[in-house]
A and B are shown apart, each in its own frame.
Chain A
Amino acid sequence: MFLDFVEGPFWYTAVVIFVVGVALRLVDIFRHGKQEDLASVQGSAAAGALRTIVTRSWTAPGFTRGAAFHLVAGYMFHIGLFVVIFFAAPHVAFIEERILGFGWTPAPHWLFILAAILAFAGLLLAWLRRVMHPVMRQISTFDDHAAAILTFVVMFTGCMALFQSHDSLRAIHMLSVEILMIYFPFSRLMHAFTFLISRGYTGAAMARKGVNT
């Protein structure tokens, strides 16, 4: 009964809040508007925006050593989680049945497990650094910890349900996913979408001045 609720009405609620919430947040950003730049340009803003969207995925020259921890743990987590969400067989089946109506070839089981291991290790290491490093302690808010812990709970409940043997485990996982989806638009998890906007703005502004970043 609980599983029916969690896979039925609560799922739809979560989806609506997620989609509408994300859209509203994005609209709200652009609604503020920005002053048109009257200075004569040195380089193409559009090209700069696209370039910076790509280049910020790696460190600035000479900065790799200072950012090594973030790079390694961060990518372990992000890439691992991406593979798990979009290429794990149970997820692909769910997407095919409940969301898109079509699916794709899922990853082989060993790749799924490897990705999950990387995701867990990356998330744990990154969150522990947030708790231990003086800079991150200074600037972290409740939102940062909540997002990390909630994501961990989603992944953990997913792991528990891996055997696909018990409805209750699947239900707990679905419930945690839905809570995350509801939390998402109101949190810093929005960076998953807004990072494109912020990188783009900065890249455009710098490129107008002739600085390729």
Chain B
Amino acid sequence: MVELVTEHDVERGKDVMRSQIDAKISAYFSSCVHCGLCAEACLFYTETGDPRYTPIYKLEPMRRLWAREKTFWGKLGARLGALKDVTEEDFARWQEIVYDSCTMCGRCSMVCPVGMDITYMLRKQREAFAASGYAPEGLQDATRRALETGSPMGVTLRTLQAQIKHVEQATGLRVPMDEQGADYMVLLSSMEVVNFPEYIESLVRIFDAAGVSWTISSNAFEATNSGIQIGSSKVAAELVRRVVDTAESLGVKYVISPECGHAYVALRWEGPNLIGRSYQFQVIHIVELLDQLRAEGRLKTEGLSEQRLTFHDPCQLVRRGGVVEQPRNLLNMLAPNFVEMDDHGVMNWCCGGGGGVSAIEGADELRLKAFNRKKRQLQELGISTMVTACANCRIVLEEGLEANEMEVEVVGLTDLLAEHLARDKD
């Protein structure tokens, strides 16, 4: 079984950092003119004024390594002692910057004038940090739990089965487990199972109403991927492989990624590259599926939601995932008073807790400061209901709202749809 490195080993970290430098990274570092615009896009900088949170500055260790080993002046500087080597101290100092102050939200990548994908670069730099053991304890623990138990929060099959029993009792409908040949295999995030189990109930109702053939696997039901967050491709591949093997053995056509941001990126976009082959099934996000059902006329709602509500775009789903229009289509069907935030869609602001940040205890203070950006977005809109499609965003937003004593309700999109399902005339 894959194991996560926790002892400090800077040389291994540097080796991994070296191996991560590909043509894209080379092109990016060659193009960076240090204009600092990325800082204006990053909520950790805009809400603190601390220039250390400038996105490209988070990549300083990799930049220095690249400069020292790949550029003329860098090599000369290295020989003359003018350009310092990447040291243990750098790893130690940058750990906080790389993990606590970056959610890999991708906003910086959208504004860079020379088109650098800084998020991509940071993801690769995390590989080096994870390999060197310089990753936050909270993430390391979550990763270990994920590898050992299947869930980063330690959610076992027993917990899930208990929740499923409640759902079956409440709805009178059956949750199909381990059904061979079903069309869709449902994944869940531990956060949903523990904090928002109403999501499972919503799924059951909607699938029943829309006539979807689906199942959950007792073997692999966890969607989240700690490997993506801590930055270990080995771990990430292992976690993806569990899902892929199970799905292929069950012979499903689709695997549904739940209301979780990075899980979608892990399975849909990084997964095939992690395991080195494409899947025998397709990956679809629950919101994508719901929109498809709506378009096919299989998902009907009634009783419009009168509330004035807005949508918080989960970064990994929308900006980094490509599911941009689907939540809007659904909300427009459901709520005539759906209003967009000023920066919405692919330019919306992060909740501040993605990319593993919400799992790092020491980052709580910074995360709450970063939340001020979302707070201002909501205040400008004067809204009291916010819909989103990621369980981590949900909990991070709720925490931020509570800390700021704001009366805003956070609702999951799937739950909102399930609430307004059209009843069959009996």
Residues of A that sit less than 8 Å from B by CB: 25, 28-35, 37-40, 42-43, 52-53, 56-57, 59-63, 66-67, 70, 74, 130, 133-141, 143-144, 185-188, 190-191, 194-195, 197-203, 205-206, 209-211, 213
Contacts and interface: CB of A to CB of B under 8 A. Distances in A.
B282 interface: yes
B31 A38 contact: no
A34 B23 contact: yes
10 pairs of A and B residues whose beta carbons are closest in the complex: A199-B115, A210-B322, A38-B272, A209-B322, A66-B40, A138-B51, A135-B36, A186-B72, A198-B31, A195-B114
Interface string B90-115: 00000000000000000001111111
Given A38-B278, A205-B120, 16 more contacts: A28-B26, A34-B23, A35-B22, A39-B269, A133-B36, A135-B45, A136-B35, A137-B51, A138-B52, A139-B51, A140-B34, A191-B30, A201-B23, A206-B117, A209-B320, A210-B322
B326 to A, nearest CB: 10
B125 to A, nearest CB: 15
Nearest to A57: B113
B324 A210 contact: yes
A213 B35 CA distance: 20
Contact of A211 (B33, B272, B322): B322
13 contacts: A34-B22, A38-B272, A38-B276, A57-B113, A70-B113, A144-B33, A186-B71, A188-B32, A198-B24, A198-B116, A199-B114, A202-B115, A202-B117
Contact of B73 (A35, A74, A130, A143): A143
Interface of B: 21-28, 30-37, 39-41, 45, 49, 51-52, 54, 56-57, 70-73, 109-117, 120, 268-273, 276-278, 282, 319-324, 342-343, 346-347
A137 B25 CA distance: 23
B57 A39 contact: no
Q: Name which of B33, B34, B70 has the most chain A CB atoms within 10 A of its CB.
A: B33
A56 B269 CA distance: 24
B320 A63 contact: no
Contacts of A136: 34-36
Nearest to A138: B51
Contacts of B32: 188, 191
A164 B73 CA distance: 36
Given A38-B277, A136-B35, A205-B117, A60 B347 contact: yes
Nearest to B282: A40
Q: Name which of A135, A203, A205 has the most chain B CB atoms within 10 A of its CB.
A: A135
Contact of A190 (B31, B54, B270, B343): B31
B321 A62 contact: no
A201 B118 CA distance: 12
A211 B321 CA distance: 8
Nearest to B348: A62
Contacts of B54: 135, 138-139
Given A32-B21, A40-B282, A188-B33, A202 B116 contact: yes
B319 A211 contact: yes
B37 A66 contact: yes
Q: Name which of A134, A195, A202, A210 has the most chain B CB atoms within 10 A of its CB.
A: A202
Q: Name which of B35, B49, B70, B73 has the most chain A CB atoms within 10 A of its CB.
A: B35
Given A25-B30, A56-B112, A63 B342 contact: no
Contacts of B120: 202, 205
Contacts of B343: 61-62
Nearest to B272: A38
Nearest to A61: B347
B114 A62 contact: no
Contact of A198 (B27, B52, B320, B347): B27
